[in-house]
Each structure stands twice: as structure tokens, then as C-alpha cells.
Structure 1
């Protein structure tokens, strides 16, 4: 189930990020606007665009979040491997799971190391 959802989410995210998808959306809005006079700009006419965009937005939030979660996890795994195999400190592996305050301590360590390195060069 998860694999099927991931494939579908990736396909939809890829398709909706294309220029033709945006063009279709613009065309739909223009078509809706042009039909306004024929429907006397009724509440039903307005409800069609409001309902349609609300449903699409609601569903897209979950698809976008899914792809962002997977992309973020993949990037973290790649960074962790670079740290593990390189000269980076292994303590940085997995810091994305720490609290904001704990991550700030790591940021401060990096800032301090940069200041020391800069001072040595001067």
C-alpha cells in the first residue's frame, strides 16, 4: 500500500509541476470566468470554482508533504553517509531528530569552529 501511494504521489507531483499542468489550470479558471455571464454569476457558479480548488488544494497538501518527507529523508541519509565516510564529526549524524535547542548547540559549535579557523588565518 505504501509503495503504491509513493509511486502515485511521485507521479502526481511530477505531473503537476509541469508547465502544461499550470496551463490547464489557467484554462479552467478562464473557462469558469467566461461562463459567469451565462450563469448570471450565481452562487452555484461561484461554488463550482470554490469547491474544486478547495478539494484539489486539500489533496495536493498531502501529496506534496509525502514527496517532501521522502526527499528530506533521502537527503539526510546521503549527508549522514558523507559525514560517516569523510572527515566530518559522526556526532552530526541524525541531528535532525534532536530538539531545536539541541540542534542550535550544534550550530553554535560550527560557528565557534569557523571563528577559530578565521582567527588562525588572520
Structure 2
């Protein structure tokens, strides 16, 4: 395995843009732009060009942000899948057949999900049938109590 590289220019750019656009400064900048635009309405008699400026600007920014957000989301998802695959692989009792599930077809995923849903139901039923375990309000109880 090679040393970790910093990725392509686009990856670095999209990561930086996603970090900056998701912060309070970006929100305040956007709010300020909308405020200045709104306050300038009387100066331009609220004409069509005045409205077109904000509509065009927001459309362009939204269009570009969709791609940046999707790129960031794809990388985050891939990293999370790799981490989950590593945990499955490293756990002796885990089924290695669950590695790389995101590559399966929807029907296969549904079949596997149904099996695990059934296993969970049976485990809950078994837990409820044990007289030494009170499961009535397990979600709301303080684990340290």
C-alpha cells in the first residue's frame, strides 16, 4: 500500500469548499448578500433585472454546490464503507460475505436485510422470554443506573 496522498486538485478543492461553505462565515456572507440585494430593491425599483440578479446568482451557486457536496458525500461514504469492511474482516465471528455489500443488487440486499431482521426479531423475542431481564423501558433507562 502506498503512502497516503493528498488527492487530486479537484478533491482538495471540493473538500476545502465543502468545509468553508458549511461554516458560519459562509452563511453570514450569503445572508449579507441577500440583505444587500433586498435593501437595493428600492434603488432599482424592484425591476426584473434586480430580481434576475439574485435568481441567476443563487441558481449558479446551487448548481455548482450540488457537485461539490456530492463529491464530498461520495468520499465520505467510501471511507465509511472501507472502515466497516475492516471491522467485519477483523471480527472473528463476523461473516466476511458481508464485505462490500454496497456493490450488490437491491434484491440481494433486501434478502440479506430480511435475514438480519429475522435474527433481530428472534433475539428480541428470546430476550423478552427471559424472566431475569426487564426490557419494558430499556430505551429510556440510564445505562449507569
TM over 0.5: yes
Higher relative contact order (CA 8 A, sep 6+): 1
Question: Following the alignment from structure 1 to structure 2, what is the Cα–Cα distance between the partners of residues 104 and 93?
Answer: 16
Specify which of 99, 107, 119 is matched with residue 113 of structure 2.
Answer: 107
The alpha-carbon deviation at position 103 of structure 1 amounts to 0.7
Which consecutive residues of structure 1, in runs of 5 or more, have no partner in the other structure?
none
Q: Within 5 A, what are the aligned runs for 1:1-122?
A: 3-86=8-91, 87-121=93-127, 122=129
Q: Structure 1 runs of 4+ off > 2 angstroms?
A: 115-121
Give the structure with higher Rg (CA).
Answer: 2
TM-score after normalising by structure 2: 0.80
SS across alignment from 1:45: helix
TM-score after normalising by structure 1: 0.94
Which structure's residues are more often helix, by fraction? Answer: 1
Which consecutive residues of structure 2, in runs of 5 or more, have no partner in the other structure?
1-6, 130-145
Q: What CA RMSD, in Å, does the superposition of the two structures yield over aligned residues?
A: 1.1
Give the count of matched residue pairs: 121
Question: Following the alignment from structure 2 to structure 1, what is the Cα–Cα distance between the partners of residues 18 and 125?
Answer: 47
